[in-house]
Amino acid sequence: MYALTLPQLLEQVKRPGAAVAFNFISLDDMLGIVKAAEVESVPVIIQVTQAALAHVGIDYMAAVGMAAARRARVPVCLHLDHATDFALIMQGIKLGFSSVMIDASALAYEENVKATRRVVDVAHSVGVSVEAELGRIGGREDNAMGDGPDWLTDPDQAEQFIAETGVDALAPSVGTAHGIYTGTPAVRFDLIRAIAVRVDKPLVLHGGSDLPDEVVREAIRSGIRKFNVGTDLRIAHARSLKKMFDSVGDVSASHALAARQTGIEAVCEEARKKIRMCRV
Ligand code: G3H
Ligand code: ZN
């Protein structure tokens, strides 16, 4: 199968309900994520950030993503996540990403509109979908740091942003943050609902790791259609390898091979938990 755009994939997800978008940084992540989606029999969004691409290059990651889309027994959307670099987005589109995120949320509103519109014009001309961010999502994701009430998305401005840019999906700032939470996250369900009534495009919840199940479900019931998870997969993978190497107390070629399988299984288990968590 070929990679679907975000709207095409979400057509297959009932409302209220969300597709999970998993961030990958390696082939083993990809294998674990695809296995989880196949076992749970759900369409899946597989995405990679600009920062993760910087480690190995976009060619390798796009090739892994395209192979996954071809081989998976479930529908796959291959998405470029939190990209700020226009040239990189163009390269991603050429290499087969079926969906891209332009993250110009650090810029002033008018500049965000301009940068987003520029990507939409090209992406839509070749059948690729576009997600954009309005307001600023806190925590650590690429270069974005910080949080605060002034970063939250204004529903009226969200409606205007959709009309001015033509994006296919919107990532609003509604109280979540990237990475592990330092306190209890105050997710603004009221704000999600207020944006959802004004915006007729799918809403994306970023910073999906480390959130209680009930919070995620309520966010989905409030209007979230794409739920992004990265950090929890990284932690599950790293912990599984530590546990395995601690228990064998030595390393060899066969341990190294076994460790890869251990990591794939850990990612798969964690991804399955997230998929089940999103069933509302
Ligand atoms: O764009 C990616 C996500 O928002 C992932 O956030 O690492 O906190 O799960 P997370
Ligand atoms: Zn994010």
Spell out which residues line ligand 1, taking CB within 6 angstroms. 23, 81-82, 141, 178-179, 206-209, 228-232
Give dist(CA 80, CA 130) in Å, integer. 9
73-132 pLDDT, tens digit per residue, is 999 999 999 999 999 999 999 999 999 999 999 999 999 999 999 999 999 999 999 999
pLDDT over threshold 50, residue 72 = yes
Using most ligand atoms within 8 A of CB, pick from 53, 105, 178, 187 the residue to mutate for ligand 1: 178
241 touches 262 (CB < 8 A): yes
Task: Report whether pLDDT(142) > 70.
Answer: no
CA 263 to ligand 2 centroid distance, Å? 23
pTM: 0.96
In angstroms, the CA 150 to CA 160 distance is 18
Cα 73 to middle of ligand 2, angstroms: 26
CA 170 / ligand 2 centre spacing (Å): 12
Average pLDDT over residues 165-178: 97
Which residues are known to be catalytic?
Answer: 81
The pLDDT tens digits of the residues spanning 218-275 come to 999 999 999 999 999 999 999 999 999 999 888 888 998 999 999 999 999 999 999 9
